[in-house]
Chains A and B, each alone.
Chain A
Amino acid sequence: MSQDVGSTFAALADPTRRHVMALLADRGSGTATEFARELPVTRQAIAKHLAALDEAGLAAGRREGRETRYRLTPEPLQEAVAWMASVGAEWDERLARLQGYVRDNLNVP
């Protein structure tokens, strides 16, 4: 697994954060103030979530006056999905081999 993939998933473990992420995906970009109008969470809490998404590489912030405007940068997510797909495929292959091996070597009394 690459170094950042785990933090990507950790960043998405929080339901409010996933909600913020979904809003970002839907709107293209946004600020804590904008999203606070749409979620039952304080502006400060949303600012924290946005900063955490930024930290995990899932969003990028740019100062805009007194606020920071974030947009989505989904590359790490794609990497995480790619990891799951490739590791999953490896185990599918191994376990299919195991099943075949057992079938071919079963001791029939």
Chain B
Amino acid sequence: MSEEQSVEREITVPVAPEEAWELVTERRHLERWLAPEVDIDLRDGGDVRVVGDDGVERTGTVELIDAPSRLRFTWEAEREAPTIVEISLSPLEDGTRIGVVEREPLRVDAAAGNVVPLRPRPAAGPLLLAA
């Protein structure tokens, strides 16, 4: 899985996981750091709408909520393929580690035992990359 297209970052904040969870899920906090406009309907399948500094609007869906440790949602801007954002919190002695992974959606090709991108290549016939 380490070969897939993904970006990973993490920071440490000096607050307890419960408080860190509020930072990454509540609009009043999110709009101070994630983007100027953030609207996340915090339930499975809930709508996500984020408008960045550059005015780019991304919309998506909440895929997983597990307070106070994991939030996963999809987002996509116009003319861009969707990606998945996963924010995970882990407690530390004196704070919380906040990890972020942004990656493209994958499906597991059970027959080949390979992980391949969910999206087929446009008009290129069947995906041969698992060959």
Contacts and interface: CB of A to CB of B under 8 A. Distances in A.
A56 B131 CA distance: 12
Contact of A95 (B11, B35, B80): B11
Interface residues of A, number: 35
A68 to B, nearest CB: 15
A3 B122 contact: yes
A102 B100 contact: no
Main secondary structure on B side of the interface with A: loop
Interface in A62-109: 80, 83-84, 87-88, 90-92, 94-95, 97-102, 106
Interface residues of B, number: 37
Nearest to B11: A95
B32 interface: yes
Interface stretch (B41-49, B61-69, B112-120): B112-120
A94 B34 contact: yes
Contacts of B80: 1-2
Given A87-B102, A91-B102, A99 B13 contact: yes
Contacts of A101: 23, 29, 32-33
B7 A3 contact: no
Contact of B5 (A5, A51, A55, A94): A5
